[in-house]
Structure 1
Amino acid sequence: MAAEVAVMLPGARTSSDDVMTVLPELWVPEASQWLSSSAGRMALEGYSWMQAVHWVAGSGLYQPRRHRSSGLRSFNATTVFIAQLLAELNPCFPGIEYLMRRTGLSERAVEYHLAALRETGLLAYISRGTRVRGKHAQASEFARMIPPEYDAALGIRTVLRDETAPAYTRAVTGISEAGRELMARLGKKATRKVRRPRPKTAPKAPSKASPTGTPEGADEAAGTTVSEESRCTPMGGGCSTSSSAAGTSLPPESKLASGRSESSTRKKSKGRAGGRKAGKKFGHQKLNIIGRRYQLGRELTQQVEWLHGCSVPRVSWVSRNVADAGWTATEVLAWLHLRGTAEKVYRGSGLLAVLLTNAENVLDTPAKRADAVARWRGAQEVQRRHAIERVRAERERYEGDWQDPRSRAVRSEVDDAVAQLKSLSRPVIQGLADDASGLGAASYEVGEEEFADIRAAARAGLETGDTSLINDTIHGCGYDEALRVYGPDLMRRARRIDQVRRSSLTTLTYGA
């Protein structure tokens, strides 16, 4: 089996020039980018894999533009840096966000570089990541592979020791003499850490008349080399041999009376002015129209109860008209108080869109909006007072000495005793009256005239939303007795006011 594998692999090459002319281009189709279908062998450690990465980077065999029109144009230094990050992972389970954070690239750029590593046969899928809506994204797991072109170029001999094992588990058995020197150079590159590449800036256009006599339209690469060599310090070597002061002229002595030239003074003054201007701009930066919309949307989702959990961009788009008109979140709350809300909200942003319809035209002046805010604050104060009174009444009722029995049988006996006392109260009073004056019991029957004052007081309380008088009568004498005293009309109004007050979606406003 070892002999058959050796025959299938290409033979050793004698020089790098022959490699470039004999070896085919590096391109692995998408169907062969999985570990089970890969033609390469799995790298046992990151060192040997980085040797293959550096060989691919310097071979020039990867030409993706022949197969697709998008993505990378070649295997560059950033791809090598990403491969170095992958060599540090064990298992090779990188996330896109992790590579974006380490490289400073965008998501699409990271995907392009990973695709380049797969298309050159250096990476193979073990499991592909998934992105399911509503779940966390799963990262892809890769296997670090060595392409067969690398083995052919260096004359590396491999053998499959176990016939039942897959082909990507081939082991190295030797290397040709011609490939040892190249292998040593690749080993030095693999041990050297690759730094994160800096973004390249576009070189300046060459001047028409260069003082060094360079013709117009010179190669941009020469200009880039000069700019890189000119960045030197006295502590290091490799400085450019040309002097940067060749094209400068000294100012006249009349301009150096204060020890500074006019140009340097002008530059410093501009720098200080620019700094103050920049500080003023960024220190007190004003929001644009989109920023005001998002600010209002964020405040509404925080202050309106039925907007909690809604999307801020959606709420910002719904309230765009009032935001453009200069409304604040307080003014929107006042308008929602005037319009009223539903008892049950199914979609907060949809209800907000309905309630804000034509709001900017109704309250079109700051004075009208201020009046609406004042009325809303007054209603909030009235509601707060009623809540305090209700809590106080409940405490007086439930925090006294009397406590309801826990046993249901005992509570029923207590209710029966209280009912008997209520039934005996009226005959006793009538009997005492008959003994005192000698009149019949029918002359002391309570009628409408006797309850006129208490009904008037209860009606006045209902106009301001106060139902404490009727509720106290119900708790003290029972519902039937309160119905006889106040009548069904007042009892129905009191019950409706209590139901509306218990709802958190309504606000009561009472006129003078």
Structure 2
Amino acid sequence: MGDSRQKSAPKQGTQCPPIATACQWLSTTTGRIASDGHTWMTAAHWAADPKTGYKPTRSHGPRGMNATTLLIAQECANLKECRPGIAYLARKLKISERTVEYHLGMLREAGLLIYRTKGGRVAHGRDEASVYERTIPVAFDQAHGIRTIGEGVQRRPVGAAGAARKALGKLARKAARKVRRPRRRTPVSGQGRCTLMEGGSTGTSSASGSIPPSETKLASGHSSHPTPKKATSRPRTLNKVGRRHQLARQLIDNVPWLSRASAPRIAWIARHCADAGWQWQEVQAAAEEAGPIDTMDSRRPSGLLAYRLKGAHELYASEKARHLMLTAWEDSRLRERIRHQGWDGTAAAVDLEQHTDTAAAAMDDIRVARQTQAVSAADLAKATEHPEGDTNIETLTRAEVLEHRQFAAQDPTYVRNLLQALGDRDARRLLTNRLVDKALVLLRLNSPELAPAF
């Protein structure tokens, strides 16, 4: 049985010959199908080289392949199914449809694209895009001494000549880079520059032909301009994204254990707090509420902040709740500072007493609110109690049920009180499983003091 390997020595200077129209189909092509987009872009860069590349045969249109051809080839290489619509490419690359047709024709004539099915107008006046196959022409294999096995378009490479490996590596590096449209270098104005440092294109000065002003129109010597320029600079109003990044930068600058964190990552983690109008002190208080954080222990500050802030914007939804939380946190930090530094002065004692009174008042407000909610839950249980001793929530009206669900959505402790008063089954029937589970998660994550005790 004979060896099916096709061996070819590298031919330096081999150009990419134009492929006839009849050979631009899957059944008539002599090239092989590219295994991936990167390999195909390697052949596209070789065909676009002005020294060894493809030369168009048509007398109109582009004179040869250029950066626009490589941009279109790059879009085709990224498609899972090579079915690029002309209108899509024109819109994506911001060029005309005629330009897209010219460059697709050059890719076909260079042997890089072949028709699988040719598009056209179908029923109801709709245009179908052509389906292509990305192929590598025979001239590319001959120029680099690439050996292939197999038959027809299903051939695959098994090696290359040693002399051509340097050129293949250079083409592979070009294919790995993203193709970008070159900048325009045409001047803004067709006239030459005339500045003090650089002379213009003309030999005469721009002020040589000017007429001096009359004596009656000379400056009077006053420093003020007759039409003073108005100052229009005003502080910029931050949008939602700007407010998030501002809060992230404040946290990084003021919180010690966040000094090594990334500002965009912190902005994304604290986005809910920034949208709700939190200050950086409130974010730090919510993060350190469960316990102080040492700078040496925070190996991933952003991950630690995300864990500590989970659900905080829902638990402290109002400004009053955030103020109470911040006051309690400041009091705990003051006590810690006094314990570590050993303050004995009168001023420190007075300061501690003031902070203690403020924190005690805040805790009293919280206790009163919890007692009120507990009484409301007890009244609900008493009002719905069945004559035989069981609790019957069927006696509640729809308005009362919606009111209880609204209270439960605002405060998770209300859910805990209802669970204690009604039991798990009736509380879930009244409030829905979603509200009960959400409240239990918030109570468990944010405060050990508010954790359910049933």
Flag whether TM exceeds 0.5 (same fold). no
Write 1 or 2 for the structure with the bigger share of helix.
Answer: 1
With normalisation by structure 2, the TM-score equals 0.42
* Larger gyration radius, structure 1 or structure 2: 1
TM-score, length-scaled by structure 1: 0.37
